[in-house]
């Protein structure tokens, strides 16, 4: 019985140690979520895109329109009708404040319309504020600025 406990304890310690070593950093978690969000946008999976946002998310679109809340953003997306536009964000920097469970992300974004070809037709810079809720990173606010158009 004593050996069994010792073996179980050793296995548990190895499992915990391995889990810590293999776990993602906050930056890696945010980048993974960003990449999943990009895939969801390209696939027009609006529900999945919205799942990465807090309920009270603030979004400033590329033309300066402020959208308050996830439900308002969903309406904004649905009001766009049958548009085939999608956006891909490419992260340049992520800075995490672990004490507050906040993060800053910035990068560039490109807008695509598959009906007009494979090249981006609009682009710009973006920044996002992330917050960690119950161990999961979500976007609390995001700002997009349109800087180029074709």
CATH code for position 58: 3.10.450.50
Average pLDDT, the chain: 88
Has residue 59 been placed in a domain? yes
Query: Count of domains in the chain?
Result: 1
Range of the domain at 122: 25-149
Are 110 and 86 a contacting pair, CB within 8 Å?
Answer: no
**What share of the chain has pLDDT > 90, as a percent?**
76
Residue 10: inside a domain:
no
What's the pTM value of the predicted model, to 2 decimals?
0.81
Comparison of pLDDT for 82 and 97, the residue scoring more: 97
Average pLDDT, integer, range 131-144: 95
Residue at 11 is within a domain: no
Q: Could you tell me if residue 119 is inside a domain?
A: yes
């Amino acid at each position: 019985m004593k050996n069994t406990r010792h073996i179980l304890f050793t296995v548990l310690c190895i499992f915990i140690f391995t889990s810590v070593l293999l776990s993602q950093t906050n930056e890696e978690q945010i980048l993974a979520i960003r990449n999943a969000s990009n895939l969801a946008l390209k696939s027009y999976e609006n529900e999945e895109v919205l799942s990465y946002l807090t309920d009270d998310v603030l979004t400033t679109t590329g033309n300066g329109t402020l959208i308050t809340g996830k439900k308002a953003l969903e309406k904004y997306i649905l009001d766009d009708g049958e548009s085939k536009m999608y956006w891909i964000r490419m992260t340049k920097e992520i800075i995490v404040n672990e004490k507050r469970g906040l993060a800053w992300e910035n990068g560039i974004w490109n807008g695509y319309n598959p009906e007009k070809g494979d090249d981006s037709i609009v682009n710009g810079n973006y920044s996002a504020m992330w917050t960690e809720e119950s161990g999961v990173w979500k976007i609390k606010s995001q700002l997009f600025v349109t800087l180029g158009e074709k």
